[in-house]
Amino acid sequence: MKFGKEFASQMVPEWHEAYLDYKFLKTLLKELQLFKHKNKPAVPKQHPHGLMRNLSLYRSFSGLTHLRRSPSHHHTEPDVENQVIHVNTVRRDGGEGSETTFLMTADEGGEYELVYFKRLDDEFNKVLKFYRSKVNEILDEAGVLNKQMEALIAFRVKVENPKGWVHNLEDTTKLASDLSNSIAALSATTPSAARASSKRVHMDVIDEDQSLRIGRRTNDENSDIGKEMEIINSDQIKEEHIHMDQSQKIERRAKRPASVEILNNVKLHTSLETPRSTIKGVLNIPNRTDLSFSKDNLKKAEEKLKTAFVVFYHKLRLLKSYSFLNILAVSKIMKKYDKIASRSASKSYMKMVDNSYLGSSDEVSRLMERVEATFIKHFSNSNRSKGMNILRPKSKREKHRVTFSMGFVVGCTVSLILALTLVIRARHILDNEGGDLYMSTMFPLYSLFGFIVLHMLLYAGNIYFWRRYRVNYSFIFGFKQGTELGYREVLFLAFCLSVLALACILANLDMEMDPVTKDYQTLTELLPAVLVLLVVAITLCPFNIVYRSSRFFLLSCLFRAILAPLYTVTLPDFFLADQISSQVQALRSLEFYICYYGWGDFRHRLNNCSSTDVFSTFSFIVAAVPFWWRLMQCLRRMFEEKDIWQGFNGLKYFLFMVAICIRTAYTLNGAVGWEYTAWIFSFIVIIFCSYWDIVIDWGLLQKNSRNRFLRDKLLVPYKSVYFVAMVMNVVLRVAWLQTVMNFTIFSLHRQAMIALVASLEIIRRGVWNFFRLENEHLNNVGKFRAFKSVPMPFNYDEDDEDKDE
């Protein structure tokens, strides 16, 4: 793989614009290469029949015993690098930057090289500025983690020794050993300590340079060297004594038990994350923030701080990778320049890069070492292997058995579909007596699995294209690193479910009653219910099988969506609620399951669900519940985030809920008044929702955009894709009107028509998913937001005062 592609693949997606624009610099070099190729002097042609010999054959013979000249007679050649460029370090925007002076502008094509170095300086200064800002951010965050760690240790002391330290010398010794690592390590993570450490590194470099200069002097100056060496050695001894005194002070400070007095200015961090805290907030009942020294609170605080350390370490790793990749990119582009321009300027430019803040600062590396030491000591019971596995989780690898299994179940699905089609056509099942009863009774039961499989297939396609266009869906959804499902895993699960459902349909296709008992086979009638129970059991299974982490993540999001607005709304919560709002017909199928197997006579394939008032009432409730969840989530976000646009979004779902209830009433009653009302509300909802999908959720149809009728930044290189998606979204919204217009296609059964319209809505949602997450990703890129904020376990009084100010 070429470096350009490897460089792009290793970028942090949200920091893409902060990296060196290697592709553009390479384009400038190609223009220079093209110019040199056009203006290359023509080589004189030799006579084809003449004697063609290399010119070196006619040079003077220097002899086999040519001796090498001594260094004293060697003539130093002019420094070619200094003649090409001169790199200066200047002050820019509160920091250092590079400014390259190209000294060969008079050469042919020199203007191309001048433009190249000007753009190279701009790109490098951009990288340098971004890196410095991010390092300052992590140094500030390190200071916060240091204070949090001090409070945690004091809290641990208070929990394990509530009576104090006066009469418990053994516990004092035990906890003192625990404190020595964390306090000593994290004390250097503050910005002031980092600057002090940088000064010590700088001093070491100066001493080394002095000793090198002394070593080059002649033997006539031995006495002066001895005197200077004595001075330097005495300075080094004094400096070592100072360092030893400082380290001894830190060690003595670390060996002292943590002072519990720090807890006087500390409160437990509370946020509106639970229904109880939300209700208290609405009723203006203050949440308890006093420190309760219990093991339960200690465990919660340790878990929060553990998560904070893992996220902080991940930031350090990405920042270190950012520095390495950009330095490597500068090195590669300069080597390419030397090759194309036949210059030798890379050495002097890379010397400036190595001496810059990007190449010489080691705050990130030192912080990584200290975070590792602290985390291993306090959060992994001094087990380095366990601690490093948490800090550096292994990237997920694609497994061949998943691909093979997916291909196997795909083949089984195709075979079962072919067999099902042949059986229906050969036996004329739908044309025989009982066909209408089958479509009215069994088809709604099995269509549930069709809706689920279709949604999973579209989600797998979304994952594939998100990865292809580098949409960081794992970060956006908040998946734990290494547990997110790829499109192969999702396809495998989808086709496994389709195989089970199709096998059940084939087993249930006997439309004739038993000639003796005049009854249907009870076992085959129970197959749909057994399959539903199997799917629910696997989803709720607590054992580590069938992607447990993803299942629990799905259940937690579903739980928070159901209890809206009692939980703080996150993107996965409302994203899942939007998916459920497109599965209204699947929810109605679940309602039919309950009625058919609970109150119907499934043994004789008879039911009277549609004629009961209870079933009709729940038809309204089931259809409106997903939109009610989204309405509550929008209201929660409107009051919590002070965003009026969430109120308009909630109005959209309220209108949707009213329209679907009116359409359900029209379906049940068939009155003309309900029909006109359903038409009016349906058109209002279609116009409102289509505008919101395209303009707000997708961010398209922007005024003064570089891409006409679209947005400035697009991930898909083909603009026609966006226009097709917009038209498709409106058309599939209009298809929703089928329940009002009651039109049919190819004389399909009513249940088949309902399933077709429901499938079109699922397809529309699948297309919406890609562009919705693309827009969210681009918003994160615009703000360089590559990490989510992690709540800390403790609040300091001075922090609260700063917030008030």
Token look-up 């100056």 returns: 221
Q: What is the mean pLDDT of the segment spanning 671-681?
A: 81
Q: Which whole-number Å values give the CA distances from 634 to 275, 283, 599, 747, 752, in the listed order?
A: 17, 20, 37, 41, 34
- The CA distances from residue 506 to 417, 429, 524, 527, in Å, are 10, 12, 10, 11
Q: What 3-state DSSP class applies to 96?
A: strand
Q: Higher pLDDT residue, 36 or 539?
A: 539
Question: Looking at residue 734, what is its pLDDT?
Answer: 87
Q: What is the pLDDT of residue 618?
A: 87
Mean per-residue pLDDT over the chain, rounded:
79
Contact 609, 600 (CB under 8 A): yes
381, 469 Cβ separation under 8 angstroms: no
CA distance 242 to 248: 10
> Does residue 191 carry a pLDDT above 50?
no
Q: Which of 794, 798, 797 is closest to 158 using CA atoms?
A: 794
Yes or no: say if 387 and 379 are a contact pair by the CB < 8 Å rule: yes
**272-281, 291-300, 396-405: which range is least confident on average?**
272-281
| Three-class SS state of 92 | strand
In our burial notation (b when 16+ CB lie closer than 10 A, e otherwise), range 540-579 reads eeeeeeebeebbebeeebbebbeebbbbbbeebbbbbbbb
**Which positions ≥6 away from 268 have C-beta within 8 Å?**
289, 290, 291, 292, 297, 301, 793, 794, 795
What does the alpha-carbon distance between residue 343 and residue 103 come to, in Å, rounded to a whole number?
A: 12
Average pLDDT over residues 686-704: 92
pLDDT value for 456: 97
pTM (global) more than 0.85: no
625: Cα separation from own chain's centroid? 30
Tokens, residue 102: 């190209």
Cα–Cα distance for residue pair 627/581, rounded to 1 Å? 6
**How big is the CA angle at 35 (ends 34 and 40), to the nearest 5 degrees?**
100
Task: Give the residue, 88 or 167, on which the prediction is more confident.
Answer: 88
Q: How many residues does the chain have?
A: 805
Averaged over 744-753, what is the pLDDT?
A: 75
Q: Give SS3 for 757.
A: helix
The token duo for 258 is 């943590």
Report how far residue 242's alpha carbon sits from residue 579's, in angstroms, rounded to the nearest whole number.
Answer: 64
Helix (H, G, I), strand (E, B) or coil at 102: strand
pLDDT, average across residues 374-387: 90
Which secondary structure element, helix H or strand E, spans residue 337, and what is its range?
Answer: helix 295-341
User: CB of 159 within 8 A of CB of 293?
Assistant: yes
Q: Comparing 516 with 704, which gets the higher pLDDT? A: 704
Q: Residue 274 in 3-state DSSP?
A: coil
CA 473 to chain centre: 5
Paired tokens of 39: 């203006």
What does the pLDDT look like over 783-804, one tens digit per residue? Answer: 878 777 788 888 876 554 444 4
| Packed helices 295-341 and 346-355: angle between N→C axes, nearest 10 degrees | 160
By mean pLDDT, which of 278-287, 510-519, 772-781 is the weakest?
510-519
Phi, psi of 434 (to 5 degrees): 100, -10
Instruction: Confirm if 171 and 197 have CB atoms less than 8 A apart.
Output: no
